[in-house]
């Protein structure tokens, strides 16, 4: 009886069965006549969607969060789609657009094919743009408003750009002393002139009075004995404004960011009090609230990284002293161990082991204010034991660094590194594997401790839209290094000082494009190159070598992913790197379950990639046919500290393959040789 009742309860009623028979799946949606607006843009306006394919349906049957359900035609929703599409065209300036639809129903397949027949007609342009409400503003402010507007006379009409222009002008006003500036929507309009079909635009603003920064009030949250340590001067040093300057909203926001970056506050906020309109005062009071972090912090660490292009796991312990002797300085010391050799417990630092490990003890002092809050300084002293597969390095490093923010998007880094390096080869190294130049450089580093003074300057311009997972913009950087100048000046005082004169240049470019406009599909592209050479007396001195810490390497999770970390080279033993590097990558990142919007599965990305590049022992050895090519697929999962990454790469073209008949993927067995010889890479963050 129980079974009978269960079946009866789940049997569709006659009315439900008839309703099911009247339902039609949306088999396809097509557009004809859309010469200006793209298909993806038009599809984004529709609530009606194409029914998913077999795979999505299958996954949906397993778990509704994995796939997509069938999409059925809804007449009422479709009418709203047509109206929404019509409004979108009008907002783009197509006031005479005509949209017809053709619905082809199949009784046999119970599906419908939808076609939108569009006659876009004439697209209106902007005949004039008039700004109102600026009678009493400063002339320099008006000049700024006219510089690089979102809309101009002669542009195609776009209502979205009109709104963006209103927002842009309001922000300029608020950054030029008018904190009460507002866009007056009731007095603004975009009027279409019937005789021409074009638009005249009027944008009205109420700028109110002009104000200046006034009194600065500083308070700590909560009020505590630490108030005496965190002086007002520490806070004021991080402000991008001072009393008497013209009020700027961007200066207030940047000052707030400065305080939160300084490292001694849990939180910092800057609020403003603007005098009432009837008040005669023209000075804005700013209220700065800061919450200091604990002065002393002693904490263990679990380390997970993709240093050197491969997965690293480690542990450490650190101590931090904030506001060290005042001035917002932070002093810290840490002891860290990390290894790439996971799953076994070898002698991590013995020369008879193939383990790759690193242990370092570092003392560091950060100074957040040097002459100005745009320049920050640092000093660090490190003792490092670095074990690679074929050699071990004992490094003592003393480093001074300066960081300067030139503009909102451009930063400069100046470093001076003093280091001594002793290198010992491992028992597994065989000289017959290396070139004669590599053997000579290895012997030079083994014979005595190498001392190097390296000056490095990097300039970076970052216009990407997200620090962890960018979908638009670019990052460009250039690094210039020189070693040997200071020891050369001291040579008379220390004639036996072992050092190498060399220079090094590295260039990097990364570009990101949102192909769909909603972060569903992102195209990313990277190019990277580097060159280093000995110069001066070191050029012909075989007892001097460029240290391994400053060589170029290829292969790994952030390089050519068909090879393991430091496993790709056109010359000799890959682990010893080279003097010339060139590589690039192309990725297509797709947020496959974005439509779920469930904060769980919508964080999954599928990535397909193509990598190319190599490293050459010497610049003169470069040959185009040595450029290796790899391809593969990866998985990303977004987290608050960046995406977790798993990639599988296989070799499309392997210039190092001894058998010339198997260098291309088409010349090898796909599963038996290509897939079996692929590499898996795990890391944190995107590959680039």
Question: 84-120 burial, b if ≥16 CB within 10 A, otherwise e?
Answer: ebbebbbbbbbbebebeeeeeeeeeeebbbbebebeb
Whether 282 and 146 map to the same domain: the answer is no
pLDDT classification of 8: cutoffs 50, 70, 90: very low
Residue 17 is assigned to a structural domain of this protein: no
pLDDT classification of 479: cutoffs 50, 70, 90: very high
Question: Which of 256-260, 328-332, 420-424, 612-616 is the least confident region?
Answer: 420-424
Domain boundary among 187, 206, 225: 206
Whether 425 and 522 map to the same domain: the answer is yes
Q: Provide the pLDDT for residue 314.
A: 92
pLDDT classification of 7: cutoffs 50, 70, 90: very low
Q: What H or E segment, with its residue span, contains residue 582? A: strand 580-590
Whether 437 and 568 map to the same domain: the answer is yes
Q: Give 92's contacts (C-beta < 8 A, 6+ positions apart).
A: 36, 37, 123, 156, 157, 158, 159
Q: Provide the pLDDT for residue 426.
A: 85
pLDDT classification of 443: cutoffs 50, 70, 90: confident
Contact indicator for 174, 249 with CB cutoff of 8 Å = yes
Residue 1 is assigned to a structural domain of this protein: no
Q: How many residues does the chain have?
A: 688
Q: How many CB atoms are located within 10 Å of the residue 368 CB?
A: 23
Strand duo 199-206 + 189-192: pairing: antiparallel
CA distance 249 to 64: 46
Question: 185-201 burial, b if ≥16 CB within 10 A, otherwise e?
Answer: eeebebeeeeeebbbbb
Strand segments, DSSP code E, in 441-520 are 450-462, 473-483, 502-514
pLDDT (tens digit per residue) in 495-530: 777 888 999 999 999 999 998 888 889 999 999 999
Q: Provide the pLDDT for residue 17.
A: 42
Whether 193 and 236 map to the same domain: the answer is no
Residue 15 is assigned to a structural domain of this protein: no
CA distance 131 to 173: 13
C-alpha angle 6/9/15, rounded to 5°? 155
Q: Provide the pLDDT for residue 58.
A: 65
Whether 321 and 406 map to the same domain: the answer is yes
Q: Provide the pLDDT for residue 158.
A: 96
Q: Is 328 left (phi over 0), alpha (psi -120 to 50) or beta?
A: left
Contact indicator for 395, 420 with CB cutoff of 8 Å = yes
Domain boundary among 206, 221, 242: 206
Whether 515 and 634 map to the same domain: the answer is yes
Residue 16 is assigned to a structural domain of this protein: no
Residue 508 is assigned to a structural domain of this protein: yes
Q: Provide the pLDDT for residue 66.
A: 60
pLDDT (tens digit per residue) in 381-416: 999 999 998 899 999 999 999 999 998 899 999 999
Stated pTM of the model: 0.81
Q: What is the CA radius of gyration of the chain?
A: 32
Contact indicator for 363, 333 with CB cutoff of 8 Å = yes
Q: How many CB atoms are located within 10 Å of the residue 383 CB?
A: 14
Phi, psi of 341 (to 5 degrees): -95, 95
Residue 157 is assigned to a structural domain of this protein: yes
Whether 312 and 187 map to the same domain: the answer is no
Tokens 């097509």 -> residue: 30
Q: What percent of the chain has pLDDT over 70?
A: 92
pLDDT classification of 230: cutoffs 50, 70, 90: confident
CATH classification of the domain holding 152: 3.10.20.310
Q: Provide the pLDDT for residue 18.
A: 45
The yes-or-no verdict on residue 166 having pLDDT over 70 is yes
In Å, the largest CA–CA distance within the chain is: 105
Q: Provide the pLDDT for residue 119.
A: 96
Mean pLDDT, rounded, for 99-121: 94
How far out from the chain centre does Cα 202 lie? 39
C-alpha angle 577/579/580, rounded to 5°? 105
Q: What H or E segment, with its residue span, contains residue 612? A: strand 604-616
C-alpha angle 188/193/198, rounded to 5°? 90
pLDDT (tens digit per residue) in 362-384: 999 999 999 999 999 999 999 99
Whether 228 and 104 map to the same domain: the answer is no
Q: With helix as H, strand as E and coil as C, how does 498-549 read?
A: CCCCEEEEEEEEEEEEECCCCCCEEEEEEEEEEEEEECHHHHHCCCCCCCHH
Q: Residue 617 belongs to what domain range?
A: 296-684
For the chain, how many structural domains are there in total? 4
Whether 149 and 169 map to the same domain: the answer is yes
Q: Give 403's contacts (C-beta < 8 A, 6+ positions apart).
A: 375, 376, 377, 378, 411, 412, 413, 414
Contact indicator for 202, 188 with CB cutoff of 8 Å = yes
Q: Provide the pLDDT for residue 62.
A: 62
pLDDT (tens digit per residue) in 619-655: 999 999 999 999 999 999 998 888 999 999 999 999 9
CA distance 136 to 134: 6
Whether 559 and 585 map to the same domain: the answer is yes
Domain boundary among 206, 240, 266: 206
Phi, psi of 286 (to 5 degrees): -110, 135
* Assigned token pair, 676: 């079996």
How far out from the chain centre does Cα 327 lie? 32
Strand duo 391-405 + 296-305: pairing: unpaired
Q: Provide the pLDDT for residue 63.
A: 63
Contact indicator for 393, 549 with CB cutoff of 8 Å = yes
Residue 11 is assigned to a structural domain of this protein: no
The yes-or-no verdict on residue 207 having pLDDT over 60 is yes
pLDDT (tens digit per residue) in 174-196: 999 999 999 999 999 999 998 99
Residue 4 is assigned to a structural domain of this protein: no
Contact indicator for 481, 547 with CB cutoff of 8 Å = no
CATH classification of the domain holding 538: 2.40.160.50
Average pLDDT of the chain is: 89
CA distance 127 to 156: 10
Whether 536 and 662 map to the same domain: the answer is yes
The packing angle between helices 159-175 and 249-261, to 10°, is 80
Question: 443-474 burial, b if ≥16 CB within 10 A, otherwise e?
Answer: ebbeeeebbbbbebebbbebebeeeebbbebe
Alpha-carbon distances of 381 from 333, 418, 599, rounded to whole Å: 10, 10, 43
Whether a cis peptide bond, with omega within 30° of 0, leads into 249 is no
Whether 304 and 451 map to the same domain: the answer is yes
Tokens 């209103």 -> residue: 166
Q: With helix as H, strand as E and coil as C, how does 321-384 read?
A: EECCCCCCCEEEEEEEEEECCCCCCCCCCCCCCCCCEEEEEEEEEEECCECECCEEEEEEEEEE
Q: Provide the pLDDT for residue 283.
A: 96
């Amino acid at each position: 009886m129980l079974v009978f009742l269960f079946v009866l309860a789940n049997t569709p009623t006659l009315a439900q069965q008839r309703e099911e028979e009247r339902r039609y799946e949306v088999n396809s949606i097509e557009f004809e006549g859309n010469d200006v607006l793209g298909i993806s843009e038009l599809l984004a306006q529709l609530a009606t969607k194409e029914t998913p394919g077999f795979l999505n349906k299958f996954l949906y049957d397993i778990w509704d969060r994995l796939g997509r359900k069938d999409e059925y035609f809804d007449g009422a929703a479709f009418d709203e789609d047509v109206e929404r599409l019509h409004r979108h065209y009008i907002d783009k300036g197509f006031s005479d657009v005509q949209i017809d639809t053709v619905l082809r129903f199949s009784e046999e397949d119970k599906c419908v094919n939808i076609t939108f027949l569009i006659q876009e007609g004439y697209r209106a342009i902007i005949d004039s743009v008039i700004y109102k409400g600026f009678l009493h503003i400063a002339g320099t402010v008006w000049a700024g408003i006219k510089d690089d507007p979102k809309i101009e006379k002669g542009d195609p009409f776009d209502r979205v750009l009109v709104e963006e222009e209103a927002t842009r002008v309001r922000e300029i006003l608020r950054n030029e002393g008018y904190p009460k500036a507002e866009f007056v929507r009731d007095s603004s309009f975009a009027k279409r002139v019937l005789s021409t079909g074009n638009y005249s635009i009027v944008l009205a603003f109420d700028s109110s009075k002009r104000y200046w920064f006034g009194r600065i009030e500083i308070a700590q949250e909560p009020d505590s004995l630490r108030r005496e340590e965190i002086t007002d001067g520490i806070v004021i040093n991080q402000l991008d404004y001072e009393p008497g300057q013209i009020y700027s909203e961007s200066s207030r926001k940047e000052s707030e960011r400065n305080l939160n970056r300084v490292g001694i506050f849990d939180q910092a906020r800057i609020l403003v009090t603007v005098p009432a309109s009837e008040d005669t005062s023209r000075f804005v009071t700013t209220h700065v609230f800061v919450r200091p972090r604990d002065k002393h912090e002693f904490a263990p660490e679990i380390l997970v990284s993709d240093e050197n292009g491969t997965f690293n796991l480690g542990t450490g312990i650190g101590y931090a002293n904030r506001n060290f002797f005042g001035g917002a300085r932070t002093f810290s010391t840490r002891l860290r161990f990390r290894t790439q050799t996971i799953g076994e417990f070898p002698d991590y630092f013995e020369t008879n082991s193939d383990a790759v490990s690193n242990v370092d003890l570092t003392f560091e002092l950060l100074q957040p204010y040097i002459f100005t809050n745009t320049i920050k300084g640092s000093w660090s002293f490190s003792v490092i034991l670095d074990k690679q597969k074929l050699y071990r390095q004992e490094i003592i490093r003393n480093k001074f660094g300066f960081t300067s923010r030139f503009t909102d998007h451009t930063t400069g880094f100046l470093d001076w590194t003093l280091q001594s390096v002793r290198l010992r080869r491992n028992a597994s190294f065989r000289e017959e594997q290396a070139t004669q130049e590599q053997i000579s450089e290895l012997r030079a580093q083994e014979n005595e401790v190498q001392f190097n003074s390296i000056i490095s300057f990097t300039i970076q311009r970052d216009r990407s839209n997200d620090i962890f997972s960018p979908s638009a913009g670019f990052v460009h950087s250039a690094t210039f290094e020189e070693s040997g100048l200071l020891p050369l000046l001291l040579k008379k005082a220390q004639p036996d000082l072992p050092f190498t004169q060399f220079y090094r240049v590295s260039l990097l470019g990364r570009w990101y494009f949102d192909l769909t406009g909603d972060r569903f599909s992102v195209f990313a592209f990277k190019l990277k190159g580097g060159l280093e050479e000995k110069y001066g007396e070191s050029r012909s001195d075989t007892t001097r070598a460029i240290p391994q810490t400053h060589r170029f390497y290829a292969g790994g999770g952030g390089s050519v992913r068909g090879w393991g970390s430091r496993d790709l080279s056109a010359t000799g033993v890959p682990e010893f790197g080279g003097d010339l590097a060139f590589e690039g990558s192309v990725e297509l990142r797709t947020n496959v379950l974005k439509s779920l919007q469930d904060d769980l599965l919508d964080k999954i990305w599928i990535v397909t990639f193509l990598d190319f590049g190599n490293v050459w022992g010497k610049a003169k050895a470069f040959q185009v046919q040595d450029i290796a090519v790899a391809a593969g697929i990866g998985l990303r999962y977004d987290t608050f500290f960046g995406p977790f990454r798993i990639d599988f790469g296989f070799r499309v073209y392997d210039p190092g393959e001894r058998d010339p008949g198997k260098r291309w993927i088409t010349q090898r067995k796909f599963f038996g040789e290509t897939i079996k010889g692929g590499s898996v890479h795990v890391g944190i963050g995107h590959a680039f």
